[in-house]
Structures are given as structure tokens and as C-alpha cells.
Amino acid sequence: MATRSFTLKAPAPMPGWGLSFGILLSMLSIIVLIPMGVLLWRGFVSFGAAEIWAVVNRPRVWAALALSFRAALVAALFNLVFGVLLAWVLVRYRFPGKRLIDAAVDLPFALPTAVAGIALTALYAPNGAFGSVIGQAFGIRVAYTELGIWIALIFVGLPFVVRTVQPVIEEIDRETEEASATLGASRLRTLTHVVLPMLAPAAMTGFALALARSVGEYGSVIFIAGNLPNVTEIAPLLIVIRLEEFDYDGAVAIAIAMLAISFTLLLAINLIQIWSRRRMGAV
């Protein structure tokens, strides 16, 4: 007669599936789903789609939306390139002050955005330490222009790319690069055909995070932007202005427009990520 042997299963550090899923769904609902649902309900049910379009379809609103997403996209692209380079240097090279630079990357995470905005404005104002030099040398004004907005968004978005790509670079085996060189590939070919494909998914994730942060950034931008309507006024500031005027429906309409554009951009980025992962898997 066969005997059955029973082994005790080691208890998992996390609770069971039902409890874990319930906690996840509850937190997600409280933080994300319910606020977004209330926003959409207020906009489309209480206010109406036609009224939302009437609020959004104004020159001042279009200018603010275009500036917010254009500046966020430029800053995210800049952070994508130089964030990957910075992460590569921090992982692959040793130099004096490396730990200090590595710690400084996280500064935008800990620094209040209003403090960052005031500091950047003081530095890049026409009479500031950097602004006066740039103005005299190149005749370029940084603060109170779109260029100043770019700098503020680059400052707050750079850590997202660096910290997302850095662990992936640490896991890349140097033998892969050496094998490519042994087979006769140049450094450029090794970079474009071996290293970058492995970094692409993480780099796109960092790009999406930096873009999302930049689109909704408020505190570090309003001080350096100048906030001129149709020139340097960002969409989040326009929402705050509508709230201060007790125009809650107008604020909701602009917020829904930002939500729709952001969702479209993030969906496109996720599709590119899926394509790059499938391409890398096929290779």
C-alpha cells in the first residue's frame, strides 16, 4: 500500500491572494479610480461634453495645453538622452566625487518643488548668477521664458530616467560587449546593436515617468515661467486660476483635456515599449 508523504509549505511573506488583491484594489480605488471617476462624472454627466469643448476650445487654453505638453516632451527627451548617459557613467566609471553626484541625482525627489522653483529663478533670472552670464555671452534670456520652463522640468524629471536605467546597466554582463568586439563589431555597432536594445525598455519607462511628472508639474515652474497668458502660462496654473475664480466646471474641463492627452501619450509610449520588448525577444 502506497503511503503519501505530506510536506509543510513554507509560509509566504505576503498574505494570500484574496487579501492581497483586496488591499491592492482598495488602495488603487481610493488613490486613482475614485478621483478619476468623480472627475469624469463631474465633467460629462454634470457639465456635459459640449460645455467641456466650449471651455477647452479657447486660444488661452490651447496655448497653455500646448506649452505644457511641448515643454514636457522636450524635457523628457533631453532627460532620456542625458539620463541614460549619466546612469552609464555612474555605473561603469570611477572618479572623484562619484558618490556625491550619485546622491545629488535624488535631490529633486527630496526638495520641495516650490523651493526648487525659487532656487532656479534666482540662478537664471537676468541678474542671477547663471542668467546674467548667459545673457551677456549669448544674449539669451532664460527666466520668464519657455527655456526656463524646460530647465525646471529637466530638473524634476532627470532622476526618473537615471534611477530606472541604472539597475539595468548594472546587470549587463561585460562579456556580452567583449564578445561583440571579438566578433569584429566596432564600439558604435556594439552600442547600437547590443547595449541600447537591452536598455530600451527601461529607458522608455524612465521617459514615460519623466514625461508624466513634467506634464503635471506646478511648483517648480510657476516661479521661473513668468505666467504670461498665451506665452508662458502652463495648463496646471490655468486650472488653479479657474479654481480661485470658483469656476469649478472650467477647471474640470481643462483637467479632463489634460487627462485625455496624457492618456494618449502614455498609451503610445506603452505600445512602443511592447514593440521593443517583442523585437528584443525575437532577436
For the segment 137-158, what is each residue's pLDDT rounded down to a tens digit?
A: 988 999 999 999 999 999 999 9
Concatenating the DSSP letter of every residue in 166-234 gives HHHHHHS-HHHHHHHHHTT--HHHHIIIIIHHHHHHHHHHHHHHHHHHHHT--HHHHHHH---TTTT--
Instruction: Name the DSSP class of 40.
Output: H
CA distance 47 to 233: 25
CA-closest candidate to residue 239, choices 229, 253, 225: 253
Predicted local confidence at residue 58, as pLDDT: 93
Instruction: Please compute the mean of the pLDDT values over residues 113-135 and round it to a whole number.
Output: 91
**What's the whole-number average pLDDT of the chain?**
86
DSSP-based three-state secondary structure for 227? coil
Predicted local confidence at residue 71, as pLDDT: 95
Per-residue pLDDT band at 9 (split at 50, 70, 90): low
Predicted TM-score (pTM) of the model is 0.85
For the segment 30-57, what is each residue's pLDDT rounded down to a tens digit?
A: 888 898 888 889 888 888 888 989 999 9
Instruction: Please compute the mean of the pLDDT values over residues 121-136 and round it to a whole number.
Output: 91
CA angle 241, 146, 203 (to 5 degrees): 100
The answer to whether 131 and 125 are in contact (CB under 8 A) is: yes
How many residues are listed for the chain in this entry? Answer: 283
Instruction: Name the DSSP class of 247.
Output: -
* Least confident interval from 70-79, 204-213, 267-276: 267-276
